[in-house]
């Protein structure tokens, strides 16, 4: 908290103390009058008390309502972590279909960060990397997937798909060179 804020709050509290004490003194004097003439000083005393309480109300209300606010917060906004829903491949697949490989790989990266055990995201990211012509990125995705996947069958799937993509790429390069006929 800044010094200026502290000084403003301290001044408000001192002013509130003066109002409350003044209201109390005026009220005591008015009670000793004991006649109809005591009504205006009593009203003035109540006014002073109300102003004093209003001056300190921001801090008091925050302190007094904290248990109720906490209960309502926990009731409507529980602090238990929410389980993420199933992964959504829609945008990544759309970008891949449109041959916008950079955006597609970005979305597959997001999926893999959010769902590191997701085999389909790893496989599709590798395929997209090969389609974009970046086998180095595909190798990096393969290594990351092999490190993060716990299921041995999923790891074997990653190896098999990477090998098939690599073989497919070499076959296409061979055909493009004209050395072999596919």
- Domain 90-177 in CATH 1.25.40.10? The answer is yes
Q: What is the spatial distance between Cα 81 and Cα 84, in angstroms, rounded to a whole number?
A: 9
Degrees to nearest 5, angle at CA 45 with 42 and 48? 155
Q: What is the spatial distance between Cα 168 and Cα 130, in angstroms, rounded to a whole number?
A: 10
Say how many Å lie between the first and final Cα of the chain, rounded: 74
- pLDDT at 81 (0 to 100): 67
Q: What is the spatial distance between Cα 154 and Cα 156, in angstroms, rounded to a whole number?
A: 5
Say which range, 25-34, 92-101, 158-167, 169-178, has the weakest mean pLDDT. Answer: 169-178
Query: 145-167, pLDDT tens digit by residue?
Result: 999 988 899 999 999 998 898 88
**Domain-by-domain residue ranges, the chain?**
3-76, 90-177
- Alpha helix stretches (DSSP H) within the chain: 3-33, 39-76, 90-97, 101-114, 119-131, 135-148, 152-177
The DSSP call for residue 82 is P
Please check whether residue 124 is in contact with residue 93, taking contact to mean a CB–CB distance below 8 angstroms.
yes
Q: What is the spatial distance between Cα 175 and Cα 48, in angstroms, rounded to a whole number?
A: 95
Token pair belonging to 182:
């596919």
Average pLDDT of the residues in 38-59: 85
- What's the maximum distance between 2 C-alpha atoms anywhere in the chain? 119
Tell if the pTM clears 0.75, that is, is over it: no
The DSSP call for residue 179 is S
Q: Average model confidence (pLDDT) for the chain? A: 85
Query: 76-111, pLDDT tens digit by residue?
Result: 877 776 677 888 899 999 999 999 999 999 999 999
């Amino acid at each position: 908290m800044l010094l200026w804020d502290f000084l403003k709050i301290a001044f408000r509290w001192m002013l509130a103390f003066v109002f409350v004490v003044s209201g109390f003194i005026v009220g005591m004097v008015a009670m000793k009058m004991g006649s109809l003439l005591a009504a205006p000083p009593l009203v003035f005393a109540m006014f002073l008390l109300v102003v004093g309480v209003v001056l300190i109300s921001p801090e008091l209300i925050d302190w007094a309502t904290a248990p109720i606010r906490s209960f309502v917060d926990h009731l409507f906004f529980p602090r238990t972590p929410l389980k993420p829903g199933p992964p959504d491949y829609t945008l990544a697949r759309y970008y891949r279909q449109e041959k916008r490989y950079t955006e597609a790989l970005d979305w597959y990266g997001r999926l893999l960060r959010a769902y590191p055990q997701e085999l389909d995201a790893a496989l599709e990211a590798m395929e997209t990397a090969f389609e974009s012509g970046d086998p180095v990125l595909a190798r990096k995705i393969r290594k990351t997937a092999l490190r993060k996947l716990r299921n041995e069958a999923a790891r074997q799937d990653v190896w098999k798909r990477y090998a098939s993509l690599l073989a497919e790429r070499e076959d296409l390069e061979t055909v493009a060179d004209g050395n072999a006929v596919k």
